[in-house]
Amino acid sequence: VAVHGLGANPAYAWVQLNSPDGQGHAEVPFNWLKELLPAELSCRVMAFNYDSKWFWDAPQQRPSNISDDLLRSLRDNRMNEKAVVSSLSRSAYKDIGDSTVGFVFFGTPHRGSLAATLGSLIASLPLPGSINERRILRVLEEQSDTLADLLGQFSDWLFENSVPAVCCFEKHMTAAPIVGKHMRSIKQLVVSQDSACIDGHPRIGLDADHSKMNKFYGRNDPSFQLVYPEIVRMSTSAQEMLTRRRN
C-alpha cells in the first residue's frame, strides 16, 4: 500500500518522466508501482490517494482524518505509521496492524521538518481568496510533541512485533519557492537525515531531492536498485512472520 506525502498530486506522486538525462529516452510518464514492481515481484499494489493540499484551496482536515480514511479503505478494499498506531486502539481495525509486515519510508519527517515550519508561516499569510490548512503543518514542525509521541508509540510497536522498517533519506536539496514581492526560490533539505530515519532501523541515502526520491525510471534506476532488495526481503519473510503471529 503506497501512501504519498503532503502537498503531492496523487496523479503524479509516483510517476517519473523516464531517465533523468533524457538521452535517448522519450519523456513518457513511468509509474513504477504500476509498471515495474508487479513485473518484478508477485504482489498486489494499491495506492492510497487523498487531497493533501495545505495552501490556497486546501481541505480542512487533521492528520487523524487522513489515517482514518486509510484504515477504512484498507478494511473495505481487502498502513502507514499513523494508521498503525490508530488501529492498535480500535478492534475493528486490529487485523490491519496484525497483517502489516514491513515499511519503506521515503523522506518521512518522523521528527518534523523545517519546511513545515516555513510552510506554516506561508499558510498564515492573509492572501485574498486563499483557504489554507495550518493544522497539518503544525504537527509536522520541528520539535513537534505530537510527532514525538507518535514516533515513540510506533517504534515500540515495530520492536514488539519484529516488523522491519527501512528509512530512505534525500541527499540533494529541493528548490522551494519564497512568497514575497519578488518570487524566488531557495534550496534546502526538506527532511533531514536525522528526521527521516528511525533509530535501530536500516537507512538508505538516495541520490535525489525530496520530490524525486520515490520516483524511479526503471529497474536500472540506482535508487530503485537500493530500495528493491529491501522490498523483496520483506515480501520473502512475510508469510513466516504472519504464521508466527497467529500461533
The pLDDT of residue 118 is above 50: no
The pLDDT of residue 134 is above 60: no
Q: Show the domain range for 179.
A: 2-246
Q: What is the pLDDT of residue 110?
A: 93
Number of domains in the chain: 1
Q: What is the pLDDT of residue 126?
A: 42
Comparing 151 with 72, which gets the higher pLDDT? 151
Q: What is the pLDDT of residue 21?
A: 60
- How does pLDDT run across 49-91, given as a tens digit for each residue? 877 654 545 555 566 777 888 888 888 776 555 666 666 655 6
CA distance 46 to 73: 10
- How does pLDDT run across 208-245, given as a tens digit for each residue? 999 899 999 889 999 999 999 999 999 999 999 999 98
Q: What is the pLDDT of residue 88?
A: 62
Name the pairing type of β-strands 174-178 and 184-188. antiparallel
pTM for the full predicted model: 0.81
Q: What is the pLDDT of residue 26?
A: 46
Q: What is the pLDDT of residue 57?
A: 53
Closest CA to 215 of 168, 173, 166: 168
Return the residue matching grid coordinates 509536522.
140
Comparing 64 with 34, which gets the higher pLDDT? 34
Of 6-20, 36-50, 152-166, which gets the smallest average pLDDT? 6-20
Highest mean pLDDT among 108-112, 120-124, 231-235: 231-235
Strand partners, 103: 165
CA torsion through residues 68, 73, 76, 78, sign? negative
